[in-house]
Structure 1
Amino acid sequence: MDQQDSIFIQKFPVRYGDIDISGYASIKSFFSNFQEIGFNHADILAQKYNGKKEFSFAVVWTKLNVVMKRIPKWKEMLTYSSWISPLIQNSKIATRNFKIEDSQHNQIGYGYGTMVFFDMVKRKSIEIPKELLIYPTHDYSIGNHEFSKLDNLSTYDYQITIKTQYTDLDIYRHVNNVRYINWVIDSMPLDILKKKKCYETEIHFLNEAKNGILVKSNTKILTENEKISANHEIIREDGKSIARVKTIWK
């Protein structure tokens, strides 16, 4: 086992499509890059340790937390690092960590999230596959690895309705997780979006969304001063919650 494989590093510029109207990176760009580097790392590990074997399972996020100390601007070059926490045999949950540094090697953000493994044939969650237990991991947890208890919203201040489209889907044929972040942002009042930046986002993924359905993105503003906190819930047309989210704006 090569410990150099335990941490994967990739550079991403803040692209024009990543920024908001003020020229700063939107929170959705960090989720998108976390998704990209996570899959790239997993692909390299699979090729080296499993010989490009085709797996019959998918990796599904259950919770993900992103915390930014500074919001970068358009054209900044960022270095993302990612690693898997030690895997536990017979467990169903794995944890992935992320670190974001600027061109001066200052850490400007981090994230961590939990994943489960889903049998694509039997359509149910499974224990961490034995093929993955040989992967090199890194015994360092960034952040406290704690998650909030996010309940359903009994009331809300703002709501938008979206119809899912073909372009929302990923290779698993359901709506990509990053779209949920877009819906959360779009449900926030415009005056907050113009004056504040989202520094923290915690999302709990509960159910999938397929193509051609209606979903509602509800937002409840909890505190409104220099730091604004809000809770969000995305609900399918059948009434099931797709995701619950907590954001902090400064």
Structure 2
Amino acid sequence: MKIEKHRKRQIITSFDTNRDKRLKLNSLFQHLSEIAWEHAKILGVGFEDFHSTNRFWVLNSISVEVNKMPVWQDEVELVTWPSGLLKLFFTREFEVLDKDGEILVKASSTWLIVDRKSMRPIIPRDYDYLEKYALEKTSLTGPVKIEMLSSFDKVAEIRSEYTDIDMHQHVNNSVFIRWIENSISCEVLKDSYYFGIQFIKEMKVDKIADVLLDKNSNKFEIKNSDNKTHVRAIFKV
């Protein structure tokens, strides 16, 4: 089976964009997640393929370099491909191209396969055949690791609600990004930037957590009332 990069044309809709008509960061993540699922299904390791064995994919981290965010009504091409194994992690790359083929956004992600009963990662050797599908790595390839914040300000308190929960019965990854995005200056989000996020602990419905920010390092942490961290993120201009 010859593996090619998976490509999808996408029109940026009004509900994808912010008040400046730019694609929202959390909307970008939704599109990247969707094309990743599509490609996993093509490769025989999609949601339906894992369902019978009580296994599922978990996004561990993703790093994104934004050169220029597309805007409302732009037609872009989303591109994704698997790039190999790093210890327990399966790596996957992304690009968002404009109509002329210019790279607007590039991203790299790390994923785990998790057993639904034990909630523990599956040893990659069970799926090491996926390495034959691996294409090139990028400068971003590898897990995002962010240290615990040593000093911070509380910038928001959030509660997980019904519409934040996905089919895995926890807060969707893009929702965490939306909560953080709402704590970043909209002026900064107009320009090119880097964003990295590490997903640590799932969050269920009707739970309260704080969004914390270290203003010196532009690092974020979302932590619950039990002092458990759900995600850590970093933002650089």
Is the TM value for this pair above 0.5?
yes
Q: Aligned residue for 1:214? A: 208
With over 3 angstroms needed to count, the CA separation of the structure-2 counterparts of 1:219 and 1:121, relative to structure 1, is same
Distance in 1 between residues matched to 2:222 and 2:51, nearest whole Å: 36
Unaligned runs of 5+ in 1: 223-228
SS across alignment from 2:37: helix
Q: TM-score if structure 1 supplies the norm length?
A: 0.85
Q: Deviations over 1:126-168 (max 9, x none)?
A: 1126356257523311224255642222322441011101111
Distance in 2 between residues matched to 1:73 and 1:113, nearest whole Å: 24
Q: Aligned residue for 2:58? A: 60
Distance in 2 between residues matched to 1:52 and 1:206, nearest whole Å: 22
Does 2:161 align with 1:165?
yes
* Range 159-168 or range 195-204, more displaced: 195-204
Q: CA RMSD in A?
A: 2.4
Give the 4+ runs in structure 1 shifted more than 6 A.
50-53
Q: Aligned residue for 1:234? A: 222
Q: Aligned residue for 2:194? A: 200
Q: What amino acid is the match of 1:205?
A: F
Does 2:98 align with 1:105?
no
Q: Aligned residue for 1:2? A: 2
Unaligned runs of 5+ in 2: none
SS across alignment from 1:171: coil
How many angstroms does 1:2 deviate by? 2.4
Q: What amino acid is the match of 1:3?
A: I
What are the equivalent positions in structure 2 for 1:68-107 lying under 5 Å apart?
68-87=66-85, 91-107=87-103
What are the equivalent positions in structure 2 for 1:12-161 lying under 5 Å apart?
12-46=10-44, 54-87=52-85, 91-128=87-124, 130=126, 133-134=129-130, 136-146=132-142, 149-161=145-157
Q: TM-score if structure 2 supplies the norm length?
A: 0.89
Identity of paired residues, percent? 22
With over 3 angstroms needed to count, the CA separation of the structure-2 counterparts of 1:136 and 1:40, relative to structure 1, is farther
Distance in 2 between residues matched to 1:51 and 1:72, nearest whole Å: 33
